[in-house]
Chains A and B, each alone.
With several copies, the nearest count.
Chain A
Amino acid sequence: MSDKVVTLSEAVGLVEPGDTIALGGMTLYRRPVAFARELIRSRVKDLTLLALTAGYESDLLVGAGSVRRVRTCYFGLEIFGLAPMFTKKARDLEIIEETEVSLALGLRAALSGIGFQPARAWQGTDLLKVRPDVKTISCPYTGERYVAFPAIKPDVAVIHVQESDCQGTAILKGNLALDREMALAAKQTIITTERLVEEVEGQIATFPSRVDAVVLAPKGAYPTSCYPYYRLASQEVLDYVDACSRGEFEEYLARFLDGGEVGER
């Protein structure tokens, strides 16, 4: 099998302006932060950012102007509060409202090779008003009306994993989020990994036939966590929030971009 190991900057080269890019992990856990750093450096713009829950690196991408459109069910910093740049720029972003079900079933529809998946969700809320593209459908058995969530097929998925081999067979420990689904549904999939191994052990999370690039990125999720290798670097996230609250996003961003592949306290 062909070796797919490339550098971060080569991997970022797979992203085109206007792409929908799906980032794995959840909020502050196992985020592809090293990739996001390189993506900001690359100055690719106009991206649609897709995430189960968008957090630290997503806020940096928004602050740096890489993102035009956001698709997520939550954009924030959990116990650290609102995501400062998302909150500040919300009026200028195009926000495509999603929920856990619309994201999960949207990817599932793509994985099933069909145009939609039905669910008992969203009705009685204003989500259907601000997502006029989302249709409803009548159950041929019960007559009930369900929401028909449209397929979501990201252009690029970026998943940070604990271990991968050179062909992109990777494993995930803990916290699966929607990573396996993103990696399978995307047109191109990039794995960034803490470790490159000869052969992974345990239930695999990705299939090499659906992986295009593998990047060795130790500490590649820092300051978000990569269980069980390192935990959330809370002080760093708080430093970010504090910097933004002082109006010093640009200074923080410069430090972040300077930070190389690995940040350490």
Chain B
Amino acid sequence: MGVRLGSADRFTIDELIVTCISRQAKNSDLMAQGIATPLVVAGYILAKLTHAPDLIFAVAIGGCITNSWAPLSISRAEEANLERPLYIFSFDEAAGTLMFTIQPKEFFRPAQVDPRGDFNNVVLGDYYAPKLRLPGCGGIADVTNYSPRVYLYVPRHSRAVFVERLDFVSGVGVLEEEERKELSILSPGPRYLVTNLGTFDFEGGRMRLLSYHPGVRVERIQKKTGFPLAMAPDLHETPPPSAEEVMLLREEIDPLGIRELERLSGGRRRAKLREIIEREAEGF
């Protein structure tokens, strides 16, 4: 979906997702950025430019902690992150001690999610004869053992993503107290999930609709989900981005529209990518 130009009260679904991500960041939070997550990066920067000016970022690209930001970029992300780092870490330190201790919030993008918030980034189909081998889970199987600040986002909500049973569990959801204890798991599971259709949590160990995005019917969300959803008592429409948020996103944070890549695939994605890279090369 392209950016619809026009008055600022109009917004794309990408922009709504970014805004939802932004709203989960509180001031002074430390926010972790994985790789290939432009919607997340845009969301964090949006928070910093609006309600959370003291936000700090722990970034994988560049391997550092920084409180500065630059517009989204493909070719220049690393140098932007490393321009004024507060702390450069090795992954020995990051994975071994630092991330446990400073406990960043992080948004992960799962390929599959089950009703209690377990998720999968490793493989689709049978593990030993996969339909599709995915890149792997990075540090998700680590973080979801201890972090109270696991957040999820799914740019393309579908029954292929939200399944009753995962092909492979690589991220831990909301477990029963007894199971958590037996497995020495400290994490309470994912705290929040935003998709292109609505926002959710896993309160009580079952995925629950908190809000539906403007123009999306609850029935459609349920239909696109491979298991029955719980409904929050105060179920409501997701508040749209403000005019200022949309303006910041389009003009300051992501003028090249890199955030749109997360909702594209195949040839359309490659074409968009080439367009962005060419514009970057021209110095945008």
Q: Name A's B-contacting residues (CB within 8 A).
A: 1, 26-27, 29, 52-53, 72-76, 78-83, 86-87, 90-91, 95, 97-105, 107-108, 111-113, 117, 119-127, 130, 144-146, 169, 173-181, 184-185, 203-204, 207-210, 225, 227-228, 231-235, 238, 241-242, 245
Q: What's the count of A-B pairs with C-beta under 8 Å?
A: 234
Bound form: Cα–Cα A177–B130 in Å: 29
The verdict on B92 contacting chain A, using a C-beta distance below 8 Å, is yes
Given A125-B169, A126-B169: A90 and B130 interface contact (C-beta under 8 Å): yes
Closest Cβ neighbor of B172 among chain A residues: A124
Bound form: Cα–Cα A141–B18 in Å: 44
- Minimum CB–CB distance for A123 against chain B, Å: 4
Further contacts, 17 of them, CB under 8 A, given A108-B92, A232-B75: A52-B91, A53-B35, A78-B36, A90-B133, A99-B140, A99-B142, A108-B97, A111-B101, A120-B146, A124-B118, A126-B170, A174-B64, A176-B91, A184-B98, A207-B102, A231-B78, A232-B74
The verdict on B242 contacting chain A, using a C-beta distance below 8 Å, is no
The verdict on B8 contacting chain A, using a C-beta distance below 8 Å, is no
- B132 x A203 contact (CB < 8 A): no
Q: How large is the interface on B (under 10, 10 to 19, 20 to 34, 35 or more residues)?
A: 35 or more
- B28 x A208 contact (CB < 8 A): yes
- B133 x A87 contact (CB < 8 A): yes
In the bound complex, residues from chain B placing their C-beta under 8 Å from that of A176 are 63, 88-91
Q: 8 A–B contact pairs at CB < 8 A? A: A26-B60, A52-B91, A74-B135, A79-B273, A120-B145, A124-B169, A175-B88, A181-B92
For B100, give its contact among A113, A127, A174, A208 (CB under 8 Å).
Answer: A113
Closest Cβ neighbor of B189 among chain A residues: A124
- B141 x A87 contact (CB < 8 A): no
- A75 x B273 contact (CB < 8 A): no
- A174 x B92 contact (CB < 8 A): no
The verdict on B62 contacting chain A, using a C-beta distance below 8 Å, is yes
- B145 x A242 contact (CB < 8 A): no
Q: Pick from B205-213, B231-239, B274-282 the stretch touching chain A.
A: B274-282
In the bound complex, residues from chain B placing their C-beta under 8 Å from that of A52 are 91
